[in-house]
Chains A and B, each alone.
Chain A
Amino acid sequence: MIRLIDDNNPKAFSLLKQLYPHSGNAFIIGITGSPGVGKSTLIDALIFEFRKLDLKIAVIAVDPTSPFSGGAILGDRLRMQRHASDEKVFIRSMASRGQKGGLSRATKDAAIVLSAMGYEIIIIETVGAGQAEFDIASVAHSIGIVTIPGTGDGIQAVKAGILEIGDIFIVNKNDRPDAQAAVLELKMMLSMRNSNTLGQILNQAPRDKFEICPQKGCSTWAPRVLKTIAQNGTGVKELADTFLSHFDFMKKNNILDLKKKELERIYFNSLLKDLAMGKIELFMQESMDFKDALNQIEAGLVDPITAAEHVVNHLMVTRNLKVQDN
């Protein structure tokens, strides 16, 4: 089923429609951070903790697709081997297939399937790119950002943006020197997020860019900073507990419902875009206009900018579509 989604098979759509009403009960956790900070190993340890509570867990691990060959090596699983024979743990690797922002388009759809299958916790691991993975905020309910001490890069990786989407910050490889410094620095940066005016707004509405505002008077979640050593499991129990308490917090304060509605809207928007763009692209590429334009560009008769504008305008005119242009 996830395979159909991944391959963008038309059959997937009708199946998704059937499954959608049954999804929505899972708690979706996003894990992001630079390559090599230990996301996979940490998730492996998290699975272990969640399994102790007898929760059913699914993991979607996204790895990059080569922009040149379209192929991919999916190796996150390698670090989650010990759960391979546990039937209540489902691990699926996905290739990013050209999507930026660290998530494959199919990830959201896959999460719907897994949720409908009754997995209580879904962990999504993004491509380890680091600084531009905001997409995760449009899928996950709670976001963990993993960093490591000692490189200065640990802070580098949680600069603007990523700092704003995190609910829980994890300093992994805490046995390294400088771990305390990294924790302090993170806490300091997070406290700035809370104290100035901008930070105040962010604190009121952790996803202000998606306009999620908890009702007035309700308390807000202060981002936590935790220390772990994923390799031997140190601190991972606290991390699992913190994720669960964030979930409870959101439930109690009515934030979860708002967030879910917001995520639903984002999903709807992206579906619209995908469906419309797919159809329009096909349509345009078959049109004479498009072929003419391509020839003209190749012949150096027209620049690509003018040509693109012309093709789109012409399409709008012939199809009698009118949009107010700014």
Chain B
Amino acid sequence: METKNKIRVLIAKPGLDGHDKGAKIVALALRDAGMEVIYSGLHQTLDQIIQTATQEAVDVIGLSIMSGAHLPICEKLMTMMKEKGLEDICLTVGGVIPHQDIPRLKQIGVSAVFPGGTSFEDIVFGMNKLFE
């Protein structure tokens, strides 16, 4: 009987950019690391992300953003998460994220940032670290 709590991750791509290869590959890497990944695909509205995260009772939301809109998206999502009482969920972001924006993202409340070029090991390590 398995009693170990599995990490459940929602991988979502908010907004209009249409490149989901990165998100899919990260989803696979997380699966291979033993996590349960809910893959919700392209063009998610923030409402959809909140609804999915609630219904699926995830531990982590992983956003993949390459449109450059990471700051306003994360800010808005964080506010919505607080409104819905989802503060327990860790928000993480990957994609095209300039390094100088990382401190600002952390300030907003993002738990971890994995900009393009981060290795799978580092992502998995970073995810696991959130739950130690």
When the two chains form their complex, are residues B41 and A81 in contact, meaning their CB atoms are under 8 A apart?
Answer: yes
When the two chains form their complex, are residues A277 and B52 in contact, meaning their CB atoms are under 8 A apart?
Answer: no
When the two chains form their complex, are residues B52 and A8 in contact, meaning their CB atoms are under 8 A apart?
Answer: no
Which segment, of A28-36, A85-93, A252-260, faces chain B?
A85-93
When the two chains form their complex, are residues B38 and A93 in contact, meaning their CB atoms are under 8 A apart?
Answer: yes
When the two chains form their complex, are residues A71 and B52 in contact, meaning their CB atoms are under 8 A apart?
Answer: no
Query: Would you give the 0/1 interface string for A65-91, flagging 1 where the beta carbon is closer than 8 Å to chain B?
Result: 110011111110110010011000011
Q: Say how far B84's CB is from chain A's closest CB, in angstroms.
A: 13
When the two chains form their complex, are residues B37 and A78 in contact, meaning their CB atoms are under 8 A apart?
Answer: no
Q: Say how far B111's CB is from chain A's closest CB, in angstroms.
A: 19
A274 and B2 CA atoms in complex are apart in Å by 11
Number of B interface residues in the complex (CB < 8 A): 29
Query: Would you give the 0/1 interface string for A102-125, flagging 1 where the beta carbon is closer than 8 Å to chain B?
Result: 000000000000000000000000
When the two chains form their complex, are residues A70 and B1 in contact, meaning their CB atoms are under 8 A apart?
Answer: no
The closest CB in chain A to the CB of B4 belongs to A7
In the bound complex, residues from chain A placing their C-beta under 8 Å from that of B4 are 7
When the two chains form their complex, are residues B33 and A69 in contact, meaning their CB atoms are under 8 A apart?
Answer: yes
When the two chains form their complex, are residues B1 and A74 in contact, meaning their CB atoms are under 8 A apart?
Answer: no
Interface of A is mostly: mixed
B16 within 8 A of A: no
Q: Say how far A272's CB is from chain B's closest CB, in angstroms.
A: 14
A2 and B56 CA atoms in complex are apart in Å by 9
B40 within 8 A of A: yes
When the two chains form their complex, are residues A84 and B52 in contact, meaning their CB atoms are under 8 A apart?
Answer: yes
Interface hits, B30-44 → A, CB 8 Å? 30-41
B3 within 8 A of A: yes
The closest CB in chain A to the CB of B54 belongs to A90
**Residue in A2, A74, A77, A85 whose beta carbon sits within 8 Å of that of B36 in the complex:** A74
**Residue in B2, B39, B47 whose beta carbon sits within 8 Å of that of A84 in the complex:** B47
Q: What 9 A-B pairs have minimum CB-CB distances, sorted nearest first?
A: A71-B31, A3-B57, A84-B48, A70-B34, A278-B1, A71-B34, A78-B41, A74-B38, A75-B39
Residues of B within 8 A of A (CB): 1-6, 8, 27-28, 30-41, 45, 47-48, 51-52, 55-57
Residues of A within 8 A of B (CB): 2-3, 6-9, 65-66, 69-75, 77-78, 81, 84-85, 90-93, 95, 97-98, 274, 277-278, 281
